[in-house]
Amino acid sequence: MKNGLSSGIKIFPDLARATWAEVSLDALSRQEFNGKSNPLIDPQQCDDWVKKIAAQHHVDYTYGGYLEDRSHLWRGHYLPKGPQAHLGVDYNVPAGTKVIILSDAEVMHVGRDGSFGGWGGVLVFRLDKPPYKGADYLYYGHLAWDDTVSLGQKLKAGTLVGHIGKPHENGVWFPHLHVQMVSEREMKRAKNGNPEAVDGYRSPPVSKEDFPDPHPYVLGKI
What pLDDT digit, counting tens, does each position of 59-101 carry? 999 999 999 999 999 999 988 889 999 999 999 999 999 999 9
pLDDT tens, position by position, 134-167: 999 999 999 999 999 999 999 999 999 999 999 9
pLDDT at residue 103 above 50? yes
Structure confidence at residue 222 as a pLDDT band (50, 70, 90)? low
Instruction: Specify the number of domains making up the chain.
Output: 1
Q: Which residues of 14-35 are buried (b: 16+ CB within 10 A; e: fewer)?
A: ebeeebbbbbbbbebbeeeeee
How does the average pLDDT of the chain come out, rounded?
94
pTM: 0.95
- Residue 7's pLDDT is what? 54
Contact between 152 and 163 under an 8 Å Cβ cutoff? The reply is no
| Number of other residues whose CB lies within 10 A of the CB of residue 64 | 21
d(CA 158, CA 122): 18
d(CA 210, CA 185): 7
* Segment 7-33 mean pLDDT: 92
Structure confidence at residue 1 as a pLDDT band (50, 70, 90)? very low
pLDDT tens, position by position, 40-58: 999 999 999 999 999 999 9
pLDDT tens, position by position, 169-204: 999 999 999 999 999 999 999 888 899 999 999 999
One-letter amino acid identity for 64?
A: G
pLDDT at residue 36 above 90? no
Q: Which domain holds residue 120?
A: 2-218
Domain at 147, CATH number: 2.70.70.10
- Residue 4's pLDDT is what? 47
Structure confidence at residue 3 as a pLDDT band (50, 70, 90)? very low
Query: In sequence order, what are the residues at sequence separation of 6 or more whose Cβ sits closer than 8 angstroms to the Cβ of residue 197?
Result: 190, 191
d(CA 61, CA 91): 8
